Structure 1
Amino acid sequence: MTTPTVPEPVAAFIDHVNAHDNEAFLDSFTADGFVDDWGRVFTGRDEIAAWSDNEFIGARGTLTVEEVDVTDGLITVVGDWRSNHANGRSSFALETDGDRITSMTIREG
Structure 2
Amino acid sequence: MDDLTLPAAIAAFITATNAADSDQFVAQFTPDAVLDDWGTTYNGPTEIAKWNQTDNIGKQSHFELEDFTQDNAMTWTVQLNVTGNGFNGTSPFRMTIKDDLLVRVEILPD
Q: Under a length normalisation based on structure 1, what TM-score does the superposition of the two structures give? A: 0.90
Q: Which residue of 1 aligns with 2:31?
A: 31
* 2:39 aligned with 1:46: no
Shift of 1:80: 0.8
Unaligned runs of 5+ in 2: none
In structure 2, what is the equivalent of residue 17 of structure 1? 17
What is the percentage of aligned positions where both structures have the same residue? 33
- TM-score normalised over the length of structure 2: 0.89
Supply the distance in 1 between the matched residues of 2:91 and 2:19 (Cα, whole angstroms).
Answer: 19
Counterpart residue number, 1:96: 97
How much has 1:9 moved relative to structure 2? 2.1
SS in 2 for 1:108: coil
Number of positions where the alignment pairs a residue of Structure 1 with one of Structure 2: 108
The residue type paired with residue 44 of structure 1 is: G
Could you tell me whether the CA contact under 8 Å between 2:35 and 2:41 is conserved in 1? yes
Distance 2:32 2:12 in 1: 19
**Aligned residue type for 2:33:** G
1:55 aligns with 2:55: yes
Could you tell me how far 1:108 is from its partner in structure 2?
2.5
| Superposed CA RMSD | 1.8
Which 10-residue stretch deviates more, 82-91 or 33-42? 82-91
What displacement does 1:99 show? 1.9
SS of the aligned residue for 1:23 comes to helix
- Structure with the higher fraction of residues in strand conformation: 1
- 8 Å CA contact 1:89, 1:108 repeated in 2: no
Indicate if the aligned counterparts of 2:12 and 2:25 stay in contact, CA closer than 8 A.
Answer: no
- The CA deviation string for residues 21-55 of structure 1, in whole angstroms up to 9 with x for no partner, is 10000011000101100000000111111111111
Amino acid at match of 1:56: N
Shift of 1:5: 4.7
Secondary structure of 1:86's partner?
Answer: coil
Contact 2:13 2:25 in 1 (8 A): yes
